[in-house]
Each structure stands twice: as C-alpha cells, then as structure tokens.
Amino acid sequence: MGEPVVMAEIWRGDLLESCHRGHAVVMDARGGLVAAWGDPTQIVYPRSSAKMVQALPLLRSGAAKAHGLGAKHLALACASHNGAAIHTEPVRDWLTDLGLADDDLRCGAHLPKDRTAKEALIRAGDRPCQFHNNCSGKHAGFLTLVRHLGAGPEYIEIDHPVQAAVRAAFEEACDETSPGFGIDGCSAPNFAISLAGMGRAMAGFADAREDSAEDQLVKAMIAHPDLVAGEGRACTRLMRACVGQAALKTGAEAFFVAILPEKGLGVALKIEDGSTRAAECAIAAILVTLGVLPADHPEALAFTDAPTTNWRGVQTGWMRATDVMRQMP
C-alpha cells in the first residue's frame, strides 16, 4: 500500500510502450475497506464522479418532487453527457420549464463530443451554447434547487446555499471533512476527499434505503445509461454490459466510481496521471474481479484487452489491464 499500482499497460508490437499507475478502493456499506490497490488515504478530486452526491440536495430538499422531475432528469443531473440531441433537448426543455434560458447556466460552452451534433453545429456556422456542456444536466439540477430555495443566480459560488448544501451532503456521504475544494471545468466547486471516503459514499448509494434520494439516483442511472454519458462512452457501454448490477460514473483527470447495489459495494479509483483510457481499463477490470461483468463479455474485453489500431485500421498492439487488477489484492 502507499505507492500507486500499475493498472494499465499499452503494448506496441512485442514491447511495452506506456503504462498507467493509480489507486483504487472497494468499500462496503458499513464504511469498511474491502480491498485497496495503492493508497486509500490519497486525497483526490472526484470531479464528475461526484455528480450523484451533488444531486442529493435537489432530492432531499423536495425541489425535484416540486418540479416534477422524473428518472430522465435525475440521470441527466448525474451525467457527463455527449451533447447529443437526446441530452441537449431535454436539458433545454428543463430550463424552459423553469422559465430560464441558456444565459442562466454557469457551466460555460463547449462543442459536443457527439459527432453528429458537433458537425451539425460547425456546418451551420453556429457556436455551442451552455446546454451543450457535458455538465448541463447537473447545472439544470442546481438551478432547480436555486428556484426552490429562492436563492440568488450565482449558484456556483462557494458560499451560495446550493454549494453549502452540496458540501454538507458530500461530507456526510463520505463520512469525512473535505480538506479543500477546487473549481471544476464547469465552474462549480469540487470538494477534495480521501479515495476511501469517496468509495464509502458510493457504498452508501449501493446500500440505499428503498426510495431514498440515493436509491432514486442509482435507479435513474441504471435505467438510462445512454443519458449518463452517450453512445460509445465507457459509462454507457459498461452499465449496459453489467445489466443493472452497476451504476458507473467517470470524472475528469481519470476518476471513476462504481455503485454495486446487489453487492452493497462502492468502488472509487484514480489514475495518477489523469488518463481516461486507463481509468476505463481499470474500472472494467475491477467490475470483472468483483463478479458483476463476465471476463469474456465483449465490453469487458473492449476495455481490459483492447487491440489498438492505427489510421489504416492495422492492429498496432494492445491496451491491457495488469494482472494485479484481475484479482482481489
């Protein structure tokens, strides 16, 4: 323990070209450490992997119910979406229902990852709006809570009631005090915590009481894997492959969490170098190791034993999860 563990390797021909180190934990519903690779005390920013926790005040306050939010809204509140029409249209409608417009968002604008949506914008000579931002569902959730609380418009400020509620929910879920926060890509505060703390929060979601806020969010994610990320994305593909046994969420700089309701377990992992390809590889390996994804499932193989190809489709090598990730430590 302590030093990060090599979790993923990139081979070219017969030689190792690159590798990725990281830390990961599996926690149970009593807050206990079931397994660790590397250092469970590592202080991390969960980034977008915290979206389920950031959505708790939306439900607990009664705001979600008062505004008639359904499972699709909740899945979008937890999403880092591709900006395809299935994501941006419901977010736009959600803002309209609140009597708000794109300018009320504080997430900033970026081109959608979804190729069809991106190329349509470029062809039309249009610039992306804030609702195209991958975090726009989370921000629509924040704005719903703003409306419910009658709070001011700068909902991403650290001392705004929305963020105070998020911090309280986050520290309660992790059962730890956050040592500080950073500003996320979408301008909201992102609270730092130990890796074990984040895993503990995920175990709490896994073991949630029927119909609690946590339970509603997990069920919404599992019911709508296409809304949580989008076609081609690891969260969506692996949630489908786990067939209801896992809610999954990536975060920037190579964070990943898994909520396993049938096992009552939570997983949190961080690749130290911030590479998404490695976080996807490592979480898939852990899902296999924990028995919620068959090792020979095509989507497991696509992330743990992935052939790499070049611009002419020639196979150049492999990305592989290391042996240490394929068994309990």
User: Which residues of this chain interact with a second copy, rule CB under 8 A?
Assistant: 10, 12-15, 17-21, 43-45, 106-110, 119, 122-123, 125, 133, 179-187, 190, 192, 253-254, 272-275, 278, 310-317
Minimum CB distance to a second copy smaller for 14 or for 323: 14
Rounded Cα–Cα distance for residues 26 and 39 (Å): 12
Nearest to 289 by CA among 309, 310, 263, 256: 263
Rounded Cα–Cα distance for residues 106 and 156 (Å): 7
Q: Nearest approach, Cβ of 255 to a second copy (angstroms)?
A: 10
Q: Nearest approach, Cβ of 7 to a second copy (angstroms)?
A: 11
Minimum CB distance to a second copy smaller for 41 or for 275: 275
Minimum CB distance to a second copy smaller for 37 or for 205: 37
Q: Is residue 263 a contact partner of residue 19, using CB atoms and an 8 Å limit?
A: no
What CA–CA distances, in Å, run from 250 to 146, 190, 225, 271? 26, 14, 12, 12
Tokens of 256: 């990943």
Minimum CB distance to a second copy smaller for 12 or for 240: 12
What CA–CA distances, in Å, run from 34 to 27, 49, 123, 251? 5, 20, 51, 22
Q: Nearest approach, Cβ of 275 to a second copy (angstroms)?
A: 6
- Determine the Cα angle at 58 with ends 53 and 63, to 5°: 170
Q: Nearest approach, Cβ of 274 to a second copy (angstroms)?
A: 4
Q: Nearest approach, Cβ of 222 to a second copy (angstroms)?
A: 29
What burial class does residue 321 get, using C-beta atoms within 10 Å of its C-beta: 0-12 exposed, 13-18 middle, 19+ buried?
buried
Nearest to 315 by CA among 18, 16, 12, 15: 12
Minimum CB distance to a second copy smaller for 122 or for 328: 122
Q: Nearest approach, Cβ of 189 to a second copy (angstroms)?
A: 9
Minimum CB distance to a second copy smaller for 106 or for 200: 106
